[in-house]
Amino acid sequence: MNSFTRILGTLVVLLLLTVTLHAQPPNLLLPPDAAPIDGGLSVLAAAGATLVYKKLKSNKKSH
């Protein structure tokens, strides 16, 4: 249950950070530099890191 709580907490923090970053008002005087990285990409990266961690942890226990 502890790992579930940690994963859920991480996802909540990532989602709140992306909302904060997108809530910034745009600077209309300068042209945009580049496209922002979407919040969905952050969630996918976090999920992938979690799967890798679980896989490495299970491999360590089996050996």
Assessment of whether the complete model's pTM goes beyond 0.75 = no
What pLDDT is stored for residue 5 in this prediction? Answer: 87
∠ Cα 53 9 5 (to 5°): 70
11 touches 40 (CB < 8 A):
no
Tokens of 32: 């945009």
22 pLDDT band, cuts 50/70/90, is: low
What pLDDT is stored for residue 15 in this prediction? Answer: 79
Position 47 pLDDT exceeds 70: yes
Q: pLDDT for 1-18, tens place per residue?
A: 688 888 888 888 887 776
**Interacting residues of 50 by C-beta distance below 8 A, sequence separation 6+:** 7, 10
Q: What's the chain's average pLDDT?
A: 77
